[in-house]
Amino acid sequence: MSALQKSVDLAAIGECLIDFTPAGQNELGMQLFSRNPGGAPANVLAMYAKLGGKTAFCGKVGTDAFGDFLLASLQKGGVDTSALMRDENVPTTLAFVQLDETGNRSFTFYRKPGADIMLRKDEVPARITQSCGVFHFGSVSLTDEPCRTATLCAAADARQAGALVSYDPNYRPFLWPNAEDAKKELWNAAALADIMKVSDEELALLTGTGELEEGGRALMRQGPVAVMVTLGPKGACCVTPAGVVFEPTFDVPVVDTTGAGDAFWGAMLWKLHAEYACCNRQDLLALTPEQWKAAVQFANAAGSLTTTKKGAIPAMPAKDAIEQCVRSGRLLK
């Protein structure tokens, strides 16, 4: 089935949660927090939808005010929420984000339990895995059962159905018992992926090397055709059979880096699937270095612009803003 015959361009499974981000202080000097919709897979979908693609999310939130807010936020962002389940007994997962003076983040999760980890395999509709051109998953939903089994089975089913499978480890150490358990699960999941995004820290964790090409090719031997390594303010590196592409990021005023990597990935998947019509591994293998370079530039611009506003989903930039950023050539030096 070609991309044009798929009813959904991009489907994703995983966590959808509340990001509480710093919002100044009250008159007593106490820290205030702003409620923002978040969760990496949901953020990726929001970016893809902002670019005009058809997206669908599968996950679970509580039957509480936070769950209502997330449902409304995804729908407002153009994401199909018909597979967003509600749990009457477990509350919506919450994350508090702390920002340092450069806008970099640290997280505190309230997830013991949280509704997102309660998603069961039998709650994943077949239409999510059978009717998408690209299927995306991350590793936050691999930390606990039953969502681990639901996620891995969904990714395997989507691949069997002919979808291009995308994977972002998105390692959060405080959600795992220890680094070795995390490394094992993250590494095994890579075997299901056609394309993968990692940070430089995740690359070192999974491969034991900080050398970008060496680490990228080690991951490619595990499964993915191409590996993107995000380097924060330094840009991104793309390791493919066609070669290695490095592109610096753009010089923008950074307010909050929350969701920047997810915006990068949502824009990358849109470029590959919507513009380059990549529907399978063979299509990725056929891309030229010039096409990969343009895709990384586009994704870098999306990620950079997202950092200029607070929150994740509300900060996702429009296509014309991304293209204008690329044309500006204002690269961070």
State the Cα torsion 265-306-47-185 to the nearest 10°. 40
Is residue 3 scored above 80 in pLDDT? no
Marked catalytic residue, from 68, 181, 262, 283:
262
Is residue 46 scored above 70 in pLDDT? yes
The DSSP code for 147 is: H
Q: 209-256: per-residue pLDDT in tens?
A: 999 999 999 999 999 999 999 999 999 999 998 899 999 999 999 988
**79 part of a folded domain:** yes
Q: 301-320: per-residue pLDDT in tens?
A: 999 999 999 878 888 999 99
Domain CATH code at residue 146: 3.40.1190.20
Instruction: Residue 291: give the domain boundaries.
Output: 7-25+32-328
Residue in the structure block whose two tokens are 């058809």: 54
Residue among 280, 190, 297 at smallest CA distance from 238: 297
Is residue 58 scored above 90 in pLDDT? yes
When divided into structural domains, the chain yields a total of 1
| Beta strand pairing call for 236-240 and 226-230 | antiparallel
- Please tell me the distance from the alpha carbon of residue 325 to that of residue 249, in angstroms, as a whole number: 10
pTM of the model: 0.94
262 is catalytic: yes
- Please tell me the distance from the alpha carbon of residue 203 to that of residue 208, in angstroms, as a whole number: 7
Percent of residues, the chain, with pLDDT higher than 70:
97
The tokens for 85 are: 């389940």
The Cα-based distances of 233 to 3, 104, 290, 299, 300 in angstroms read 34, 10, 22, 13, 10
Q: Are 257 and 103 in contact (CB under 8 A)?
A: yes
Confidence (pLDDT) at 9: 97
Instruction: Report the largest interatomic distance among the alpha carbons of the chain, rounded to a whole angstrom.
Output: 60
**51 part of a folded domain:** yes
**143 part of a folded domain:** yes
**1 part of a folded domain:** no
**333 part of a folded domain:** no
Is residue 4 scored above 50 in pLDDT? no
**190 part of a folded domain:** yes
**123 part of a folded domain:** yes
**2 part of a folded domain:** no
